[in-house]
Structure 1
Amino acid sequence: MIPELLEVIALVTSGVVAGVLFAVAVSVLPALFALPAGRYIETHRLLGKGYHPTMPIVVNVAMVADLWLGLVAEDSASRALFVVAGVLLLASQFVSHLGNVPINRRVKAVDPEAVPEGWQDPRPLWRGWHLLRTTLALVALAANAVGVVLS
């Protein structure tokens, strides 16, 4: 009963993570790139409020469920896939904390009404980090799905 419950938790939470990151990549990012700097900074601030602390919690739940499944799943291939998924989710968190979060802090520090001359637009770099963590999350979801099918 516990492994099945963990599988549902891992699939749902990793699906939410992958889905949210995918939606940001295909819809939110193009919209942010279309905005002038000041509006981008305002919008970036507003979007960040909605994701924190919810997304880190969801990622952690998915990661813990995966790593736990790596210990308790009966099928060895499934165990390996769940561990891989958990490690990929951990990697996506590292990308967030070491890549995206520092950029977020820099953006929040800029006055949207007085963007300095020569301001270094962080959107291209932020997008690169985001696409990396999105890819990691999508592969984690696929590993979870295959792990559940094999178990």
Structure 2
Amino acid sequence: MLNALEVITTVVVGVMVGVEFAVPFFINPIIKALPEDSGQLARAHSGRLGGAIMPFWYIGSLVLVAIWAVAGRHHDGTALVVTAGALLIVSVLLSVLVLVPINNRVKAWTPENRPADWKEQMHRWDRWHYVRVAVIVAAFAFLAAALA
């Protein structure tokens, strides 16, 4: 049973990492290349979609890691799992304290009501998202190492 939990947790976190990795390296460059206001509208739509789904994914991943850490506390690699959990906590805090407030503004923007500094706010979100991606990639690496 523990083996199944380990694999499921690693896959769930790994897919989340893949989705979040795709945002700055694939999705945002595509969005930035869209004509006129389409890019800003796409970012707003992406903010609504991500804002609805990602909280469950992040918290669900953290819960799975916590269950793995408790269930496997007497097994090799537990320290790696706990470290991954700590990194996921950092990613959740980073999201709630920095990224979500920006996202909550972005998702309501239209070309008619966006603020003058909307591009600067997008760049700030992007910079913090790079940090979050680095943190969750590290968490995923610790989970993968715990499996080995």
Q: TM-score, normalised to structure 2's length?
A: 0.85
Give structure 2 stretches of 5+ with no counterpart.
none
Equivalent in the alignment of 2:19: 20
Q: Size of the alignment, in residue pairs?
A: 146
Per the TM alignment, residue 48 of structure 1 is displaced from its structure 2 partner at its CA by 2.3
Structure 2 vs 1, CA of residues 49 and 142 (structure 1 numbering), >3 Å: closer, same or farther?
Answer: same
CA RMSD of aligned residues (A): 2.1
Structure 2 vs 1, CA of residues 35 and 97 (structure 1 numbering), >3 Å: closer, same or farther?
Answer: farther
Give structure 1 stretches of 5+ with no counterpart.
none
Taking only the aligned residue pairs, the percentage that are identical comes to 34
Per the TM alignment, residue 69 of structure 1 is displaced from its structure 2 partner at its CA by 1.8
Contact 1:41–1:108, Cα closer than 8 Å, also in 2 = no
Q: TM-score, normalised to structure 1's length?
A: 0.84
Q: Answer with 53-62 or 4-13: which moved more.
A: 53-62
Contact 2:45–2:107, Cα closer than 8 Å, also in 1 = no
Matches within 5 A, 1:2-151: 3-35=2-34, 38-73=37-72, 74-76=74-76, 78-113=77-112, 115-116=114-115, 118-121=116-119, 122-149=121-148
Q: Distance in 2 between matches of 1:35 and 1:103?
A: 22
Q: Distance in 2 between matches of 1:55 and 1:130?
A: 13
> After the TM superposition, which segments of 4 or more aligned residues of structure 1 sit over 4 Å from their partners?
none
Q: Distance in 2 between matches of 1:83 and 1:30?
A: 35
